[in-house]
Structure 1
Amino acid sequence: MNIDPCSDFYQYACGNWIKNTIIPEDLTEFGILDVKSYRYKEQLRTIFEGNYQDLLSSTLSPSSFQVDSQENRNIDKMNYKLIKNYYSSCVDVDTYGEEGIPFFLKDLTRLQRELEYQKKWKDSFSISTNIFNLISYPYPTTDGLAIDIGGLFSLEIFSDNKDSTKKSLILTPPKAFTEAENIPLKEFEYQNLIDLTSSVLGLQNHTERDRRRLRLMEDNGIKTFTSERIYDAVDSAITLQTKLFKITNSISDYGHYSYSLSTAEELYPFIDWTNILEHYIPNAKDTLNISIQIYNIEYFNELGYYATIDDPSRPIHMDAIAKYLTVYKIVTEAPNLDSELRQLMPDSPFQTRASLCVEKVLDRFGLAVGRFYAMIASNGESDKINLDTIAKNIKSALIKRIRNATWLDNVTKESAIKKLVMMQTSTGYSTFAPDESSPHDIHRYMQGLKTDFGTFYENDKAVNQWIMRIYWNTLNRALSPTEWIGVTSPQVVNAFNLLSKNSIFVSAAFAQKPNYDKEFPDYLNYAGIGQTLGHEYSHGFDDVGSQYDEYGAERDWWSNATKVKYAEKANCFVKQYSNVSVTDKRGKNYFIDGTQTLGESIADHEGLAAAYDAFLTLKDSGKGYNPVLPGLHHFSSDALFFINAARSFCSKSSVDAEKNSIYDEHAPDSIRVNILFRNNADFSKIFKCPIGSKMNPHKAKCRIW
């Protein structure tokens, strides 16, 4: 290492990794934590292309996952077969795909008939139960699951912000809008979008496939579209999505408004709330008490307005919404029918059919496939015990930091400590509703699911309906703070704080090398997964998390004096981050928005500090495990702690990707690391950074506690 750690610690810790890393061709950036995601996806592909015995052979802890008896293995094999059937039908889509065309066309016809009925008999557009059923798709998010409603909006189920014992339906603009840099339909080559729509609804009969499709359409009374009508539908869909996308990205106030069911029906009649709820949760005891939370109110006001315009001369009107839903259904589902249609998708040049199907299995089966992922990626109970011990030590260190914060008055201090003490921690995989260590529990979880329909389209539809049934049923019962349904899965590389539950979750995929290994010395584990745990605990006290109490309810528990002092401390971070920039290819500087990154900045700083305090306490107790690793004898265990803590942020990206990262809630990794360690007095002491050096400037160091 020829770089001075007191000059640029990010390059000191990550320089060699960056130099030797090649960004995969389908990505614009690649981080050190992405490596394990690629590796385990490949392992899962091998398992689903093999057999159940392959899975057993790869299981790290058979006793933890209860596969040490023949009865349990038989049950587990049945669960495995359900997923394997789905995967096989996905991979073999060219063999069986065309068999799914009649089923897809029938669903598309049902949608068109519903839309035509509305056009003929209603004064405004509304999403009825029948339409809702035909345009709803599970949409995996970084922190759980959403339901995509025809590309018009997304729906999630969470605890109510004001009362965590109650449920809320959360409505947001489409998740694809908030996660995309560009308008999704414009990611297509325009002609590909036309060709995709024509391949389903067009008049052309150039191939045997076309002729077979046309016969099916005629037999089922399905109307074909002329070329002119196809262009009109696609153009209308692009126009509407462009308008909605721009509304989503132009709003500065992302606050939410909470309504009763009756008020939501009055304000947003384009959604048939009552009938939809009665359809999905028919045995619900009290749907009237479910609150509806609307995020980005302007978006839904505009959408509701468009649903009432019955004037085809206007660029956006109720008929444009109908055309949009038709095109969206084709774009979402038709590529599942065969590889020819799949080739028209924007991402197709970079993704093999097998990798696409692994992604679908991981997304669709969530906790069910999460069991199999955990079996090959986790040491089960022993990892849980180790992680829980690290978490307990991190929490104790953070409690001590809060207790020593002299700027907090006693009442606020005790409230903060109470919140942290009550914060739940769930690591690795779910052990409740369902218990992923139990084959029998997963079997109950998958009850009623069939994946032997013979076509991928039917299998995918059946799995989607199963997911929706499970998800909607969470509205009708109390949820445990550590319940994973609708939250995350073991195979998702993530760790996060769910503020509404006052709980943190760390997946099995995240608790892997280089973050964690049961054989690692403490200085590596505490710098890796320990720093992450500290980070997630600290989110409970960032600019947003600090507004939630120990029960996950949104409530102000700060005294007026401490709120003022907290704001001063938070502003220190805002100023620091807002003063740095990234440079594009033309030499133009783009400055970080320190307010936008504030939550992550606070969590980074307090998480690292708590992890190091916990590591020191364990080391000083004489109970730690800190052997010198080969080739690293010239580093102290403290120095190795900080090096590994920095390495978890190592990433390589294109110049454009780094420029775009300034719009993220996380600062670009190089900036993130250097400011983080610059503010840590223990780092400067360990690396002997002189006052006035880049990593130990004269300016005061920012901290909360």
Structure 2
Amino acid sequence: MNQGNMFSISNRFRLPLFTAPICILICVFLLDSQARSIGDESQENTITDETAEYLRSYGALMKSYMNLSVDPCDDFYEFACGNWKNVKPPRQASHKRSNLLDIVYTLTDVTEQLLTRTQLAEALNVSSELLVAQRFYNSCRTAADFPAADPAYLSLIRSIGGFPAVDGQAWNASRFSWFNMSAHLTNYGANGLILEEIMPQYPFEPYFKLPELGFDYFVHTDNMVNSSSRAYTLNEKRMRGYLNAFNLTEDKISSVIDGVFDFWREAAAVEDKFGGESDQCVALEAPAFGQWRSYYEIAWNGLNFDNGTDPSQFCDFYYTELEKVCAKHQEAVANYLAMALLYRMDSKLKEKKLQKDHCLLTVQFTLAHLFNKLYMAEHFSEETHSEISAMVKELRKSLRQVLENAEWLDTETRREALQKEASITPVIGSYRNEEITSLLIDEIGKLSLADDSYAQSMINMRRLGAAIRRHNGRNFEKISNDSKPLELLLGMQVNAFYYNLDNSIYVMAGILHPPAYHRLWPDSLKFGTLGYLVGHELTHGFDTVGSLFDGSGQKRNWWSTKSEAVFQDRAMCYVDHYSNYLIPEINRKINGAETKDENIADAGGLREALAAYRSHMKQLQRRMEDNETLAPQNEQMPGLDLSPEQLFFLGFAQLWCADYEEEHYWEELTKEHTIDKYRVLGAVSNSEDFAEVYKCALGKPMHPKAESCRVF
């Protein structure tokens, strides 16, 4: 893989809140004429009453997240975020909640507005597609509670493998294939026993990760040891709810659930043989698993990507052993996969009042290219683009200084590194490809909606989502080999990316909302939030993966033997540091090896952003000295007794304020990003600047040792 993103999407693709009333988030966002711009040398010195009130309001919001009883030098995460989980507004979510990812709900509220923009849609020639979105949304809003036993769902399940718990003796075990049924599930974005991801480069073929067993709580050997564990009770409750819908007897329901858990335990034991690590699995000898051609026939219209029949795309050992387990538990596997499809269609509402969230999120993500076109036309201003561009320039100057001052780089390696930095292409908002965007929006217009069956409409919606996700791969022979991943076309998303193949960074328009950015904020806060995010992406060009590519995006070793040895040693410091963090909720430690590049990028981004802010303030000071009519701008946030640089670090930390349930730790444990709390603690405890700004004495938890981890 050769991309990186800020959040947990696909591995190595450095590419998903509402914290204030929507009228503040949206209306103030549009007050560009009142804004203070980093790139505007004639800084606006007049603070209007409206601006002052907004800043007071946002300062109070930031303060409400904090636990002021905690010494920031003891636990900066708790100091910055200790009360966030108690004040966050209720929203529909199937995963963890976090302050940064909650921008999704800001965009959801924008989506609700865009659904009414018929004149804008007409002007952009997407009015028929918007009508499709409106029809689905309206039917979703009026739908009753999720009907698991709806004939449309049952018909689909029977067509792809069957549901023995419901069909009884009519279910034919001799015709059942667990692998084929799992392949069919991928056509609806459902998680079965094939976990499909899409490679982020031409020809955009699929690749595979270990399947995630379970529903509301991913199961592992040590979290379902007894029926009182949370993993057991949550999954048991979910399955019982689905099976009850079919009026099965209590004995039958219990038998089905027991069977699924027996299957899970044996499947998890296969994973235990290699510790859940794909690299270790690949090293195990096993006969080739020969069923992948069926998957390509079912899910990819029989496409051959040259390596489409190559079983080395995923560990032969795992699937060979899983085949044996599935043969022993045929009925249980079929029941599990049937319920996995129901789970994909289910809104999973915790409260009925959150149904609007579910409906908006469904259209927002599935019909993303339509809403992106509307969003970019109405909500992304040239003024915002200019300011973000100016910030990126400041961050790049900071990165160059870091590379120039890295004394351990030899002359030739430093020259290559500086050449790579000089070749970085920044994209603010989104990448544009009107041809592909039009094709994808046309597909939305073809979506079939059943007026008399919301279940059938949802089935069709899920199938459309999977088809759009696979568009580039399914059409790779018709598109150019320098085509970009579809994610880069979506400005309306909460993300930022570094893309190794063309040495570019992307700051997507959707992330430009609080708590990541607001044009009215002090620059100290802007650099601590968005500046850090930009620096994070820039640093990915020089992490252990990015360092394998040169300035033109070619995979080439441009390192001297001596410099590379020092680089790897410095990277190992991060592995060791983060591997010491214990997650007490699940009694597991952070995987420092898996998360090292993200941790390196966090440290680099934070360091570069602070250096860029300091340089920016020196430039402002010089301009004020040259022009006595310019008044100094206020770099503090009203209501927070913090210096500008303390505010910088608080802004960074509050991006990662989060609320986890026990199951969410398991969900993120194997991802490439560190759990949010330890992401903050690891970054600041390795920052000499943080220790200086917050006056943390040597030996305090946030300043544990004099020499911290540092690559550049």
After TM superposition, is the score higher than 0.5? Answer: yes
**Structure 2 CA distance for aligned equivalents of residues 105 and 581 of structure 1:** 44
Letter in 2 for 1:606: G
Answer yes or no: is the 8 Å Cα contact 2:129–2:445 preserved in 1.
no
2:277 alignment partner in structure 1: 253
Cα distance, 1:413 vs structure 2 = 2.8
**Structure 2 CA distance for aligned equivalents of residues 574 and 518 of structure 1:** 37
Matched, 1:268 2:290: yes
Answer yes or no: is the 8 Å Cα contact 1:626–1:637 preserved in 2.
no
Q: 2:117 aligns with which of 34, 43, 52?
A: 52
1:576 alignment partner in structure 2: 577
> Cα–Cα, structure 1 residues 178 and 600, in superposed 2: closer, same or farther, change >3 Å?
farther
2:55 alignment partner in structure 1: none
3-state SS of paired residue (2:219): coil
Cα distance, 1:153 vs structure 2 = 0.7
Q: 2:602 aligns with which of 604, 629, 638?
A: 604
- Over aligned residue pairs, what C-alpha RMSD do you find? 4.7
**Structure 1 CA distance for aligned equivalents of residues 663 and 159 of structure 2:** 44
2:40 alignment partner in structure 1: none
Letter in 2 for 1:156: E
2:464 alignment partner in structure 1: 466
Cα distance, 1:529 vs structure 2 = 0.8
3-state SS of paired residue (1:268): coil
> Cα–Cα, structure 1 residues 410 and 433, in superposed 2: closer, same or farther, change >3 Å?
farther
> Cα–Cα, structure 1 residues 3 and 288, in superposed 2: closer, same or farther, change >3 Å?
closer
1:534 alignment partner in structure 2: 535
Q: 1:152 aligns with which of 178, 190, 193?
A: 193
Letter in 1 for 2:262: T
1:703 alignment partner in structure 2: 710
1:302 alignment partner in structure 2: 321
Q: 1:365 aligns with which of 367, 376, 385?
A: 367
3-state SS of paired residue (1:700): coil
Cα distance, 1:531 vs structure 2 = 0.1
Letter in 2 for 1:361: V
Matched, 1:646 2:653: yes
Cα distance, 1:565 vs structure 2 = 0.7
Answer yes or no: is the 8 Å Cα contact 1:582–1:590 preserved in 2.
yes
Query: Map of 1:53-92 to 2, 5 A cutoff?
Result: 67=120, 71-72=122-123, 75-92=125-142
**Structure 2 CA distance for aligned equivalents of residues 153 and 506 of structure 1:** 32
Answer yes or no: is the 8 Å Cα contact 1:87–1:358 preserved in 2.
yes
**Structure 1 CA distance for aligned equivalents of residues 650 and 642 of structure 2:** 10
3-state SS of paired residue (1:170): strand
2:210 alignment partner in structure 1: 173
**Structure 2 CA distance for aligned equivalents of residues 186 and 487 of structure 1:** 39
Matched, 1:288 2:288: no
> Cα–Cα, structure 1 residues 607 and 274, in superposed 2: closer, same or farther, change >3 Å?
closer
Letter in 1 for 2:194: F
Letter in 2 for 1:279: N
Q: 2:242 aligns with which of 181, 196, 201?
A: 196
**Structure 2 CA distance for aligned equivalents of residues 555 and 355 of structure 1:** 46
Matched, 1:407 2:408: yes
Matched, 1:111 2:118: no
Letter in 2 for 1:522: D
Identity among equivalent positions (%) equals: 20
Answer yes or no: is the 8 Å Cα contact 1:590–1:659 preserved in 2.
no
Matched, 1:279 2:346: no
**Structure 1 CA distance for aligned equivalents of residues 407 and 109 of structure 2:** 51
Cα distance, 1:435 vs structure 2 = 8.0
Answer yes or no: is the 8 Å Cα contact 2:195–2:208 preserved in 1.
yes
Answer yes or no: is the 8 Å Cα contact 1:570–1:704 preserved in 2.
yes
3-state SS of paired residue (1:94): coil
3-state SS of paired residue (1:406): coil
> Cα–Cα, structure 1 residues 257 and 615, in superposed 2: closer, same or farther, change >3 Å?
same
1:623-650: CA deviation from partner (whole Å, max 9, x where unpaired): 7995345637975544432332333233
Cα distance, 1:602 vs structure 2 = 1.0
RCO higher in 1 or 2 (8 Å CA, sep ≥ 6)?
2
3-state SS of paired residue (2:199): strand
**Structure 2 CA distance for aligned equivalents of residues 319 and 501 of structure 1:** 48
Letter in 2 for 1:82: V
Instruction: Pick which of 36-45 and 602-611 moved more.
Output: 36-45
**Structure 2 CA distance for aligned equivalents of residues 633 and 104 of structure 1:** 53
Cα distance, 1:359 vs structure 2 = 3.0
Matched, 1:93 2:170: no
- Could you list the runs of 5+ residues in structure 1 that have no partner in the other structure? 57-66, 140-147, 205-226, 259-263, 307-315, 337-341
Answer yes or no: is the 8 Å Cα contact 2:187–2:467 preserved in 1.
no
Answer yes or no: is the 8 Å Cα contact 1:492–1:507 preserved in 2.
yes
1:219 alignment partner in structure 2: none
**Structure 2 CA distance for aligned equivalents of residues 191 and 636 of structure 1:** 50
1:631 alignment partner in structure 2: 638
3-state SS of paired residue (1:155): strand
Letter in 1 for 2:465: I
Instruction: Pick which of 15-24 and 680-689 moved more.
Output: 15-24
Answer yes or no: is the 8 Å Cα contact 1:394–1:533 preserved in 2.
yes
Answer yes or no: is the 8 Å Cα contact 1:83–1:451 preserved in 2.
no
**Structure 1 CA distance for aligned equivalents of residues 351 and 430 of structure 2:** 34
Cα distance, 1:702 vs structure 2 = 2.0
Matched, 1:394 2:395: yes
**Structure 2 CA distance for aligned equivalents of residues 372 and 383 of structure 1:** 17
3-state SS of paired residue (2:313): strand
Query: Map of 1:186-585 to 2, 5 A cutoff?
Result: 186=232, 190=236, 193=239, 196-197=242-243, 199-200=245-246, 235-248=258-271, 251-255=275-279, 267-269=289-291, 271-272=293-294, 275-276=297-298, 279=301, 287-288=305-306, 294-303=313-322, 305-306=323-324, 316-318=325-327, 320-321=329-330, 324-325=333-334, 327-333=336-342, 336=345, 348=350, 352-372=354-374, 378-433=379-434, 443-444=441-442, 446-451=444-449, 453-475=451-473, 476-477=475-476, 478=479, 483-485=484-486, 489-499=490-500, 502-550=503-551, 556-579=557-580, 581=582
1:25-69: CA deviation from partner (whole Å, max 9, x where unpaired): 978964332443344434545765xx336xx7xxxxxxxxxx4xx
> Cα–Cα, structure 1 residues 670 and 126, in superposed 2: closer, same or farther, change >3 Å?
closer
Answer yes or no: is the 8 Å Cα contact 1:135–1:325 preserved in 2.
no
Letter in 2 for 1:251: G
Cα distance, 1:290 vs structure 2 = 5.4
Answer yes or no: is the 8 Å Cα contact 1:536–1:603 preserved in 2.
yes
**Structure 1 CA distance for aligned equivalents of residues 139 and 557 of structure 2:** 52
**Structure 2 CA distance for aligned equivalents of residues 198 and 413 of structure 1:** 65
Answer yes or no: is the 8 Å Cα contact 2:578–2:590 preserved in 1.
yes
Answer yes or no: is the 8 Å Cα contact 1:6–1:694 preserved in 2.
yes
1:309 alignment partner in structure 2: none
Answer yes or no: is the 8 Å Cα contact 1:265–1:271 preserved in 2.
no
**Structure 2 CA distance for aligned equivalents of residues 655 and 331 of structure 1:** 21
3-state SS of paired residue (2:511): coil
3-state SS of paired residue (2:486): coil
3-state SS of paired residue (1:240): helix
2:33 alignment partner in structure 1: none
Cα distance, 1:350 vs structure 2 = 7.5
**Structure 1 CA distance for aligned equivalents of residues 499 and 280 of structure 2:** 17
3-state SS of paired residue (1:104): helix
3-state SS of paired residue (1:451): coil
- Could you list the runs of 5+ residues in structure 2 that have no partner in the other structure? 1-67, 165-169, 225-230, 625-631
> Cα–Cα, structure 1 residues 362 and 18, in superposed 2: closer, same or farther, change >3 Å?
closer
> Cα–Cα, structure 1 residues 295 and 516, in superposed 2: closer, same or farther, change >3 Å?
farther
Cα distance, 1:6 vs structure 2 = 4.8
